[in-house]
Amino acid sequence: MPQLKNCPRCGKLFVYTNIMLCPDCQREDEEDYNKVRDYLYEHPKATIDRVSSETGVSTKKIIRFLREGRLMLSKDNVNIFLRCERCDKPIRSGRYCEECAKELKDKLMGNKDMPLKEIKKGRMHLNIKRKK
């Protein structure tokens, strides 16, 4: 049976499909993401305030896109600062630097030799089958 929820942003009732927003708010987020991505592609050194004013997308939402790993800052961009939530090193995308992400993943997995390739865009993806 489908589960109904209210959208936390607009309050509309919608059928929940593992995404917390209604289809209209999802579409709006996707349009905002595309605006920011395109603007950063054309202006890789832009400040977050400049990106926000030129695209009409809030700085909070831009930072959310970066933290989610959907956007990555160019190596040349020193104007928008993201920091690793664990060690405070500067990062270009996600929540953790590569070293902290690897260490957290290794601790979670209990295996120090697992490759870092499974960690993508600031999120941890575990590819281990559960034993029954």
Q: What pLDDT tens digit does each residue of the chain (132 aa) get?
A: 789 999 999 999 999 988 889 999 999 999 999 999 999 999 988 888 999 999 999 999 999 999 988 888 877 776 667 889 999 988 888 899 889 999 998 888 875 554 555 444 444 444 444 444
32 and 68 together in one domain: yes
Give the C-alpha separation, 108 to 111, whole Å. Answer: 8
User: Dihedral of CA 46/48/53/57: which sign?
Assistant: positive
| Residue 122 phi, psi (nearest 5) | 75, 5
73 and 42 together in one domain: yes
76 and 101 together in one domain: no
Decide if 132 is inside a domain: no
69 and 109 together in one domain: no
Domain count, the chain: 2
Give how far the C-alpha of residue 62 lies from the chain's centroid of Cα atoms, to the nearest Å: 9
46 and 60 together in one domain: yes
86 and 68 together in one domain: no
Give the C-alpha separation, 119 to 98, whole Å. Answer: 8
Decide if 4 is inside a domain: no
Query: By residue range, what is the domain housing residue 111?
Result: 81-120
Helix axes 23-42, 59-67, angle to 10 degrees: 90
